[in-house]
Amino acid sequence: MRLSLLLLLILGARCGGPDGNPPHEALGRELGAELQGGRPTEATAAPPRFAPGEQVESVVSPGGLFRLHFSRSGANAVPVADADGNGVPDSVDTVARTYDAVAVFYSGMGYRLPPGDSGGTGEHGGDERFDVYLVDFAGRADGAFRVEGCLTADLGCSGYMLQENDFAGYGYPSYEHAVATLASHEFFHAVQAAYRTGLGRVAEEGTAVWASEQFEPELDDLERVSPAYLSQADRSLVVDPDGPAQSFSYGASLFFQFLSERLGEGVVLSMWEESVHAPSARWPALLETVLRRDWGMDFDTAFREFAQWNLATGARAREGSGYARGADYSGLVLAARDLPVDEPSVRVAAASTRYFEVPGGTESVSASFDPREGTESAAIHLLVAAVNEHEVLRVVRADGPGILSAQVSARDATHVVVAMVNGRPEGDGRYGRLRISSMTPHEEPSGGCQTAPGALPWALLLTATVWRRSPRRRTT
């Protein structure tokens, strides 16, 4: 296996999230310097690493899949209590059992496990087992998976794990919780690399958070990062963020959770499998392929439904509609407007949604979106939802192309949410004129299909009539 590639797949920050945990290790080093440095058992390795002369021990996990490297003294020392008297610190036993459980769980979902490393001695861990190094990140991160070599340029890659040695001062509720969160998230990056690297931060971080949620929903990792998406749903899901916005990649896990609940968890597996057959394709194109082939829908349809599910999050979640755990998500951040609204140039980026909120309590509220002349608008959708503080009462939808118009009854609503959805998986944003106004009782609805969420999934909403003026489990 050639060692011409070294990448960090655990990227970006959790940016001061509610749990107070520090970011994962971020990019910013020269990859060549990392390659020359070697593994953390070598004195030339970049930090975090074991100190020269530090006594490093290793044990094999009970399932035989992993080799864990640790020390009992110095800056990298693990908690050394050994209540069961087996000669191995209980903290290391916890890590070993957890990684075994994670690997068995992902294998049971149908994912391929990472290939073995090159074996041998010294820097390669002593055998072909997957190596986990427990080292001190000094509070700046909590773990990182590093790709060390690939069968081809980006396919069939293997590597090793760095994980915080003791989580002292971190925001996790317990050592066990921290280990389960890191192991399930980080090891899924190793699973991803066994298929293909380079799919981008949204696909890599989004599906890694999603995978942790499948492994053990009680970890609440997806719940903690949901604000990173729901507070900025107007960002394009198909453009990787940079800088301070990198937390958006973690929040994008909500989209993959939607796909999993709507279509089954196999849709994410199919996307990763397709990445091997189409090694140059971007993740939205991979998803489009598997959605059309295996589920009879396209990216646009899936994203439009995703935008509607997001209405019923936080305080407006209701059992039987949308996400199973929608009440645990943060809820959408909406742009408040006073009636009437007339905004001549509203931009909706590809794979994004613009959410506006206006007062309810009137007989009805109508909205229209007039795409800029010459704009292709087939994948543009208008949602108009009557809501109160506790639920989504009803939703009317209108689909492009052409001018979109919809009206919703709003007498029993405290507010009306108007959403402009662009379901295109690529390309530039779409511009148009947005108008929102309250209607008097004698005026006729201008179109749309009105539905209360009820017990039926919102995915079963009938297509709206469009008015146009122109053509769980955890394995232990």
pLDDT over threshold 70, residue 19: no
Please state the rounded mean pLDDT for residues 44-58: 93
Identity of residue 322: G
pLDDT over threshold 60, residue 330: yes
Count CB atoms within 10 A of the CB of residue 283.
22
- Whole-number percent of the chain with pLDDT over 90: 74
**Cα–Cα dist 226/100, whole Å:** 28
Kind of pairing, strands 66-70 and 130-135?
A: parallel
Could you tell me if 200 and 282 are in contact, meaning their C-beta atoms sit under 8 angstroms apart? yes
Using the CB atoms, write b or e for 257-279: b if 16+ within 10 Å: bbbbbbbebbbbbbbbbbbeeee
**Cα–Cα dist 68/52, whole Å:** 19
**Cα–Cα dist 387/188, whole Å:** 38
Please state the rounded mean pLDDT for residues 392-413: 97
Identity of residue 372: R
pLDDT over threshold 90, residue 46: no
Cα–Cα nearest to 168, from 57, 79, 58: 79
Check residue 11 and give its pLDDT. 31
Count CB atoms within 10 A of the CB of residue 32.
9
Could you tell me if 334 and 315 are in contact, meaning their C-beta atoms sit under 8 angstroms apart? no
pTM of structure: 0.87
Q: Quick one: pLDDT band at residue 18, thresholds 50, 70, 90?
A: very low
Q: Which of 90-94, 429-433, 446-450, 452-456 has the lowest mean pLDDT?
A: 452-456
Q: Which of 2-6, 128-132, 236-240, 345-349 has the lowest mean pLDDT?
A: 2-6
**Token pair recorded at residue 233:** 């749903």
To the nearest 10 degrees (0 to 180), the angle between helices 283-290 and 266-277 is 110
Whole-number mean pLDDT of the chain?
A: 86
Say how many residues make up the chain. 476
Cα–Cα nearest to 386, from 450, 296, 319, 464: 450
**Cα–Cα dist 416/450, whole Å:** 13
Provide the terminal-to-terminal Cα distance of the chain, rounded to the nearest Å: 33
Cα–Cα nearest to 271, from 250, 251, 293: 293
Cα–Cα nearest to 390, from 326, 446, 302: 326
Q: Quick one: pLDDT band at residue 35, thresholds 50, 70, 90?
A: very low
Check residue 24 and give its pLDDT. 54
* Per-residue DSSP letter, 76: T
**Cα–Cα dist 143/12, whole Å:** 11
**Cα–Cα dist 8/300, whole Å:** 31
Please state the rounded mean pLDDT for residues 181-187: 97
Q: Which of 214-223, 237-246, 454-463 has the lowest mean pLDDT?
A: 454-463
Cα of 417 vs its chain's centroid, Å: 25
Measure Cα distances from 391 to 318, 415, 419 in Å.
6, 11, 16
Q: Is 105 exposed, middle or buried (0-12, 13-18, 19+ CB in 10 A)?
A: buried
pLDDT of 56-87, one tens digit each?
999 999 999 999 999 999 999 999 999 999 99
**Cα–Cα dist 61/77, whole Å:** 19
If residue 449 lies in a helix (H) or strand (E), which one and from where to where? strand 449-451
* Per-residue DSSP letter, 278: S
Residue 124 or 455, more confident: 124
Check residue 123 and give its pLDDT. 63
Check residue 445 and give its pLDDT. 45
**Token pair recorded at residue 452:** 């209360």
If residue 398 lies in a helix (H) or strand (E), which one and from where to where? strand 392-399
Classify the C-alpha dihedral 33-36-42-44 as positive or negative.
negative
